[in-house]
A and B are shown apart, each in its own frame.
Chain A
Amino acid sequence: MSARASVRDDGPVTEVLLEGDWRLQGGTPRWASMVARAGPKGGVRLRADGVTHWDTSLVVFLGEAKSWCDAAGVGCDLDPLPEKMRMLGGQFAQSLVSGTRPEHSRSLFVEVGLATEDALRQGRDLLGFIGECWLGAKRLAVGQAGFRWNDCLSEMQKCGAMALPIVSLISFLVGVTLAYSGAIVLRRFGGDIWVADLIGVAMTREMGAMMVGVVLAGRTGAAFAAEIGSMKANEEIDALTVLGISPVRFLVLPRVLAVGLMMPLLALYANCLGIIGGMAVAYSTLEIPFAAYWVEMLTIVDLPDVTVGLIKSVVYGLIVGLAGCRRGLQAENNAAGVGKAATSAVVTAILFIILADAVFAVLFNAIGL
């Protein structure tokens, strides 16, 4: 028999008779609809003599009944019920009145205040982190601290040599795209040959370093954040700290140095591939011979252009490395935290690369480079 609750008036007291098979996964009567029908005034007595099976669904009914009676100021007699039912019903009613802990419900002002405080703290932490890296690097430079060259070399292999295929493809395609876009304008003036100048300057000064920066932000920065983030979740960072080993020296410096050293090499390589991409389009679409393209490019691209690109690439490399390691060290101690750290590392690195590029544009313009 399915769960049933019937009402009987026993003098001033309303008696509620519970019967049948009370299961969560089947439909069971609800106290709210029972009250609407019966509207007990004097008091309520609950009986469960006809209940053949029961689970939490019955506990919910009893708890809601008791809670309603307490609120309405009418007596609720649970004595005819078996002891376990009575106890659980009471516990359920109790759980309905105990609200959420107050410190967890915050007003908008408190939320804004806490967010501001958090932003300030993060800014301070970031400066602290950069300072710690700087001091570590200085100690390393003057030979006061040991350095894990093996880690650094392995990271150099991962972020340098192993990134060559993706860097090749992207740089070549950037060269191709630039050449096609440039040709549209230059052709109108009969200046097809200047495509070589455009590609040469754009790749060496801007696009080579920028594209490698973006690729490494997604590939290496995210990997640093995920790796260090999962080390944090496994308490490996805490283990280093209690041994008195600085996580910055042990984990951050080898990675930042590796990406900082590899980045200019990759940027040079990207420049070459971009120029080759442009050359291929110039030859196939604009019918410019390879030799003519090469000679024209050398008339405009000189050492300062390449140097500008290399300076930028070193800075972009440091940004990618620092952002990845910083986000990894900030990660929450759980799986979701690792994912968030990796995403945030990529976003931070790309944002700072663009900011740095803008600063460089102003700076190099001012000094005439």
Chain B
Amino acid sequence: MSAQAQNAIEVTSLACAYDDRKVLENVTFSVRDAEIFFIVGGTGVGKTTLLRNIVGLATPVHGDVHFHGRSFTGADPAQRREMLKTFGLSFQGGALWTSLTLSENIALPLEEYTPLPRDEISHIAAFRLSQVGLAGFENYYPSEISGGMRKRAGLARALALDPKIVFFDEPSAGLDPVTARNLDRLILDIRDTFRTTIVIVSHDVDSILGIADRLIMLDTATRGIVAEGPPAELAKGPPEAKVVEFLTRRTIRSG
């Protein structure tokens, strides 16, 4: 088996721009199958831009992205649609469709891509909602629930089709610590149960140290990756001081 086939995602020499301003250059990394992989870095470093380029919401200036050995950047629309079915994206604010109830939000991808009957789809929607702690909220509209609940419902929608790869954009931002840790546990469960590959954009150090298998850290100065590896190893020390500071700075209160 080739190295590329073992990897769920292969990003090669990717250059990304935001509003015509180049934010990342020559980014190369790979994510292994069933791995929990974090993309970390300070605010404005281009984490979300990188994610948008990987999933096809933005077009890279240069470079290529492969999913399970198949090129995504160079794929024609039909191939792209096939590949899109295999991954889910959980947006920062949930990105739920406001005119649909939570149940309908989750049902839409199932209606689009599976031959399941309507009642079974609504059962799956209820199950997904219960998995993220929103049992009983099936008929609520996104405007009727809190921001944290919208985020969890967005995750339930991302999981609707049992994707092989799930991307998360800042999953714990805006959540209380208990809910954030429950979300971490859910992410671990999904990976362990279905061997799903998980890619998370975040700067929540507790999540990173808690569930990450490996991470890459982006930096504005180099417009690229400054460190790559398991968080525990990177936190131990040299070669990159910025990474150590990022992963070990917990409080400014001394004593």
Contact in complex: A104, B140 (CB < 8 Å): yes
Q: A63 — nearest CB in chain B belongs to which residue? A: B127
Q: Is the CB of B127 within 8 A of A92?
A: yes
By the criterion of a CB under 8 Å from any partner CB, how many residues of chain A are at the interface?
A: 30
User: Does B139 touch A at the CB level, under 8 Å?
Assistant: yes
Q: A24-B161, A91-B127 are in contact. Are A336 and B98 (CB under 8 A)?
A: yes
Contacts between chains A and B (CB distance < 8 A), count = 69
Please state if A55 and B123 are interface contacts (CB–CB under 8 Å).
no
Q: Judge whether B77 is part of the interface by a CB distance below 8 angstroms.
A: no
Q: Identify which of residues 38-84 in chain B touch chain A, using a CB-to-CB cut-off of 8 Å.
A: none
Partner of B127, one of A59, A105, A333: A59
Q: What chain A residues lie within 8 Å of B135 (beta carbons)? A: 94-95, 98
Cross-chain contact A101 with B98 (CB below 8 angstroms): no
- Asked whether, in the complex, the Cβ of A55 is within 8 Å of the Cβ of B127, the reply is no
From the candidates B113, B136, B138, name the one contacting A25 in the complex (CB within 8 A).
B113
Within 8 A of B (CB), among A92-111: 92, 94-96, 98-101, 104-105
Residue-by-residue, is A17-61 near B (CB-CB < 8 Å gives 1, otherwise 0)? 000000111010010000000000000000000000001100110
| Chain A residue contacts of B117, Cβ below 8 A | 30
Q: Do the beta carbons of A84 and B193 come within 8 Å of each other?
A: yes
Residues of B within 8 A of A333 (CB): 143
Bound together, the chains give a CA A49 to CA B54 distance in angstroms of: 38
The 8 Å CB contact of B123, one of A25, A63, A99, A100, is A63
Residue interface mask B78-93, A partner, CB < 8 A = 1: 0000000100000000
Fill in one digit per residue for A57-98: 1 if any B CB lies within 8 Å of its CB, else 0: 001100110000000000000000000100010011011101
Roughly how many angstroms separate A99 CA and B103 CA in the complex, as a whole number?
13
Contact B136 A100 (CB under 8 A): yes
Q: Is the CB of B110 within 8 A of A94?
A: no
A359 within 8 A of B: no
- Which one, A56, A64, A92, A98, contacts B162 given CB within 8 A? A56
Complex Cα gap A99–B129 (Å): 12
| Alpha-carbon gap, A36 to B137, bound state (A) | 32
Chain B's nearest CB lies how many Å from the CB of A185? Answer: 50
Chain A residue contacts of B120, Cβ below 8 A: 30, 60
> How many residues of chain B are within 8 Å of chain A by beta carbon?
30
Residues of B within 8 A of A25 (CB): 85, 113-114, 161
* Nearest CB of A to B166, in Å: 13
| B99-133 with Cβ < 8 A to chain A | 99, 110, 113-117, 120, 123-124, 126-127, 129-131
Question: Given the complex, which residues of B lie within 8 Å of A98, measured CB to CB?
Answer: 126, 130, 135-136
Residues of chain A contacted by B113 (CB below 8 angstroms): 25
**What residues on A are CB-neighbors of B124 within 8 Å?**
56, 60
Q: Mark B142-168, 1 if CB is under 8 A from A, else 0.
A: 110000000000000000011000000
Known: A24-B116, A30-B120. A56 touches B136 (CB 8 A): no
Closest to B162 in A: A55
Contacts of A335 in B (CB 8 A): 98
Task: Give Cα A99 to B143, complex, Å.
Answer: 20
Q: Which of A64, A91, A92, A105 has the most CB of B within 10 A?
A: A92
By the criterion CB–CB under 8 Å, are B127 and A95 in contact? Answer: yes
- Give Cα A234–Cα B233 distance, bound, in whole angstroms: 41
Instruction: Indicate whether B18 reaches chain A with its CB closer than 8 angstroms.
Output: no
Give which listed residue, B116, B142, B194, contacts A55 with CB less than 8 A. B194
In whole angstroms, how far apart are the Cα atoms of A333 and B126 in the complex?
26
CA of A55 to CA of B86, assembled, Å: 13
Q: Which of A56, A63, A99, A104 has the most CB of B within 10 A?
A: A56
Closest to A102 in B: B136
Contact of A99 among B98, B99, B136, B193 (CB under 8 A): B136
Report yes or no: A101 in contact with B116, Cβ–Cβ below 8 A.
Answer: no
Shortest C-beta distance, A58 to chain B (Å), equals 10
Q: How far is the CB of B123 from chain A (nearest CB, A)?
A: 6
**Do A91 and B123 form a contact, CB below 8 Å, given A27-B115, A100-B138, A334-B143?**
no
In the assembly, what is the distance between CA of A27 and CA of B117, in Å? 11
Give the residues in chain B near A336, CB-CB below 8 Å.
98-99, 143
Give the distance in Å from the alpha carbon of A56 to the alpha carbon of B163 in the complex: 10
Can you name the residue of chain B whose Cβ is closest to the Cβ of A56? B162
**Residue-by-residue, is B170-192 near A (CB-CB < 8 Å gives 1, otherwise 0)?**
00000000000000000000001
Q: Which residues of B contact A88 (CB under 8 A)?
A: 193
Are B114 and A24 within 8 A (Cβ)?
Answer: yes
Chain A residues with CB below 8 A from B161, complex form: 24-25
Q: What is the bound-complex CA distance between A95 and B102, given in angstroms?
A: 15
| Nearest chain A residue, comparing its CB with the CB of B117 | A30
| Cα-based distance from A170 to B124 in the complex (angstroms) | 55
Give the docked Cα–Cα distance between A30 and B117 (Å): 10
Residue on A nearest B85 in the bound complex, by CB: A25
| Residue contacts A-B, CB under 8 angstroms, 24 given | A25-B85, A55-B162, A55-B194, A56-B124, A56-B127, A60-B120, A84-B192, A84-B193, A91-B127, A91-B131, A95-B126, A95-B127, A95-B129, A95-B130, A96-B126, A96-B127, A98-B135, A100-B137, A101-B136, A104-B140, A333-B143, A334-B98, A334-B143, A335-B98
Since A63-B127, A96-B123, A98-B136 are in contact, a sample of 4 more A-B pairs with Cβ atoms closer than 8 Å, ordered by chain A residue number, is A25-B113, A95-B130, A96-B126, A101-B137
Q: Which residues of A contact B (CB under 8 A)?
A: 23-25, 27, 30, 55-56, 59-60, 63-64, 84, 88, 91-92, 94-96, 98-101, 104-105, 332-337
